[in-house]
Amino acid sequence: MSARILVVDDIEANVRLLEAKLSAEYYQVSTASDGPTALAMAASDLPDIILLDVMMPGMDGFTVCKKLKEDPVTRHIPVVLVTALDGRADRIQGLEAGASDFLTKPIDDVMLFARVRSLTRLKLVIDELRQREASGRRMGVIAGAASRLDGLGGRILIIDDNERQAQRIAAELSIEHRPVVESDPDKARISAGGPVDLVIINGAAKRFDGLRFAASLRSTERTRHLPVLAMVDPDDRQRMVKALEIGVNDILPRPIDPQELAARVKTQIQRKRYTDYLRNNLDHSLELAVTDQLTGLHNRRYMTGQLDSLVQRSTLGGDPVAALLIDIDHFKKINDTFGHDVGDEVLREFALRLASNVRAIDLPCRYGGEEFTVIMPDTQLEDAMRIAERIRMHVAGSPFRVAQGRELLTVTISIGVSATLGEHDSPEALLKRADEGVYEAKASGRNAVVARVA
């Protein structure tokens, strides 16, 4: 899995060494020698990962990282700080500036590539979600800004067989979050499937395999995107690399430093809320793409796709398909007399009555304007006629209360009914026959159901 990596360091030898290592693994590498250049390149090139030296003249790496995270254009790009410093205060400062992790000079190649691969996987997911959200915004089906994208108040599941360590972590986190401790991996697996923002696992647990548990979270659909922090001894290089390879989001070095714990937890929860926001927007945009916003019924686009597959199955010897095409009588007169607001009320009320008078397997849709369809799988023409008559009677049988209850309108409908004829039928022919039935119902005085066989 390749990626575009921006290497930032004021010492040319360091830049060339990293560039050579990454290029040998087929990563695309660009370089910058100072903070301002790095900021400009990040905004214009949008790399997948930034490897950023801390000790640079003028603008140091902490400042550059903070500016990257403050800019909406670059805040989603993972930043790994590369430093000769290995002090607690420097790690905390970097995490609070928004860094994803640290690499200490001299750089361990195995850790370098493990971290790069891990962050590349994460970046690919976020990029795909962001692109889909952007498409939704261009189509006008996504609007508004994200809410609650901070990293506080998270629901955290701590899985650890070391009770003293787990309780100490829970006590630290309870200041700003809602932690729960679980020592039984079977019970923890159930809890992880609930409303959890972050899982912290003891990667060196004695009574269960913490990394195997983390791997099981990644292989289960419901928990696949749940962020995981693994507590690992920093000297256990092999376990740290394996944790990153199986999909652990971040490593929490032992012994646990409270401030570093708080910073890493905040980063992971903030990232989860952002990706949840993107996924929810995507789900919403997909729903809007197939739903009529006024009535809540499926739209013509969705109906067409479903009808095509049902009719194709029917022509190959499957169950028959029936279609109702429904037109609200004198709807233009309603709009002209009472206004479009009342017309919209009539459409919404009709959609409710329609949906409540068809079967669970039927597909009621708004076809366009005041026209509606019902696609009816496994339905003979006679059965479709009976259901159509029930809909007609329910609509005409009681007036529509509109204009905030001030007006009562008698509404009637004309319905055309058709059903598939055999192997040479088509969706277009099925709907055309139903449409002819509507015209015949209107010509005969409206408020009628007419079936067309051919």
Catalytic (active-site) positions: 370
DSSP 272-312: HHHHHHHHHHHHHHHHHHTB-TTT-SB-HHHHHHHHHHHHH
Burial of 232 (0-12, 13-18, 19+ CB in 10 A): buried
Q: What angle do CA 392, 395, 399 make, to 5 degrees?
A: 150
Q: Is the CB of residue 117 less than 8 Å from the CB of residue 88? A: no
d(CA 44, CA 40): 6
d(CA 321, CA 362): 10
Task: Considering only the C-alpha atoms of the chain, give the largest distance between any 2 of them, rounded to a whole number of Å.
Answer: 89
Nearest to 5 by CA among 98, 115, 91: 115
Q: Is the CB of residue 227 less than 8 Å from the CB of residue 198? A: yes
417 beta partners: 324, 451
**Which residues contact residue 293 at a Cβ distance below 8 angstroms, ignoring those fewer than 6 apart?**
none
DSSP 63-118: HHHHHHHHSTTTTTS-EEEEES---HHHHHHHHHHT--EEEESSPPHHHHHHHHHH
d(CA 41, CA 361): 55
d(CA 441, CA 445): 7
d(CA 214, CA 224): 10
Q: Is the CB of residue 375 less than 8 Å from the CB of residue 323? A: yes
Phi and psi for 304 in degrees, rounded to 5? -60, -45
